[in-house]
Structure 1
Amino acid sequence: MSEPRWLDAAQQRDWRAFVDGSARLGEITERDLKVKHGLSISEYEILVRLSEAPDRRLRMAELAENANQSRSRLSHTCARLESKGLVHRGGCPGDKRGVFAHLTEEGFQALDLAARDHVETVRDNFIDVIDPADLEAVGRAFDAVLRHIGARP
């Protein structure tokens, strides 16, 4: 068995900064959405994806891929959003097996309010604390990571 390619001190420092920083940022964004709007980050992401889709609707399979959730997790999350009146699920015309998730008007209004606070949290804790050139590098770096890893199975 060959020896692993261990990280050097600088790589270990950068990796840990990423792990710790992204975990903490995730906690802050989740907490703020939950406290201010009663939404989890996964619920918020579903509302965002639906708001950007034509007619504010997507097939559940496409929504799962776009929102980076398993189909099972998405189904549970959409059920919570339905119980809040923010999303409605319905059949696909011409495809008896297909199901659409629709963003309701109430869901769009809830998203509009949540997005105003969420963008401030993102700005205050991510965008505004990173030098613009470094932020651009972060974007390029994670584009490369996503290209390497590929789409979620």
Structure 2
Amino acid sequence: MRRRRGMTIVEVLVAALIVGIVAAGAVATWSIASRAAASKRAVEIGTAIAVSEIERVKALRYNYVPASPLQGGVPVPTIRWYDRYGNWLGAAATTGDFRAELTVRILINRDSQTNREDLKEVVVEVWDGARSRRYETARTLLSFGGI
């Protein structure tokens, strides 16, 4: 009996199935990788915004950084808006891609006078525009005598 050359239909179907599984895996991997890169970029911009806000407040010096107003005993944050590239949108902006919330609390003021015994806490939270995802929280302390 002579052997036939070529592949059987079962072998062709198995090969097609293997190629299909590999292709589906490649597409899924590509989708996950592209979303991870976009998410990483947003987190990095959020971190850069938080650092920028902290440095901006530190540059103002202690006397020029007022405590956040209280509403029902809770500090009301100052909100600054940024675009998707991390650029500040200006004082008149009411929406954007990133929302930086700045809160300043007086931690220590022993004698109700501004002197070297005073200490303020500055907290910056960076959220997405809808305030559904927090990217970064940064905090620092300001003292009257220096930073």
Quickly name the TM-score band, shorter chain normalised: 0.3 to 0.5
More helix as a share of residues: 1
TM-score in terms of structure 1 length: 0.31
TM-score in terms of structure 2 length: 0.32
The structure with the largest alpha-carbon Rg is: 2
More strand as a share of residues: 2
